[in-house]
Structure 1
């Protein structure tokens, strides 16, 4: 009777200690590269905290068996960062937004001051005054920028269908002070035969005091003052809308 050949069970040779250490370091290097790339990819959105546990050495308590090192890998835990932390691009956007808001507030403030210090000329078109004239309460006003004597100023106003400003209502004095700048402007008031008369030949009603005893009157910042008619000043023209012919 022929005997069967004996089967010899061949076990895989155990991995030497140097080879195990080399494999261990290679895996750690791969994990490190992967972690760096992932961190760069997610840096703008999340803060990641990566904790790694290296492979247990073969034969150590709780270690993995031979041949299963690659499949086991390392244990990784990723913690989500604080999502409330502002992103880097938020800072310049916030700065630009703040600057825009400041500019808007400045524009609003300047517009409010301008409306208080100068009447709006938009009403002139409604009242039917010419371009460059300002209409208010049925009267059209023209504030010149050129300077002239009192007589020349009156002639120029007359050529425009108006006259030097005649002030017969209490609101006109404060209104014209807001309308003009700090310059002194000729008015349609002068002295004839020792008394003040408007250019429309009506008598001055002493509604406001006039300083001085000179012949022609002008408006300063705080008073109505008389001076020589030959002095050069800018002037204010006025005309009632019903008489203006400026429509």
Structure 2
């Protein structure tokens, strides 16, 4: 008994060509989808490339700008027993002497009696010691104006 097997015909064709047997043109919707697909691939590729280049450029700029631009550089550390404030080091001695001795002692430490240049400096001194029993770099000879240890005249408006 010989049975005929049904044949199945499969044909592969380019979607843009006309079917030779049926005479039908390809589905225009399929062509539209194919065009959209290609367009989407091109657009996504361009967007991806742009983002990639942007990330590389920004990473390069970040590497060039040191974090020191964002924060002021740390000054040298104050010696042990000294207190740092706004880039200055302060030493509060427990030795009770006169102004001249205190100035000489500071000079021996390569320092000078404290100058109070701003209101913030004054507030800092008050917070640290709560009372004014320490010498600062301000003095006055009889008949003369008040002067700082560096020779500049005292200005009651807050500048040294």
Q: TM-score, normalised by structure 1?
A: 0.32
Q: TM-score, normalised by structure 2?
A: 0.48
Q: Which has the larger radius of gyration?
A: 1
Q: Which has the higher contact order (CA 8 A, sep 6+)?
A: 1
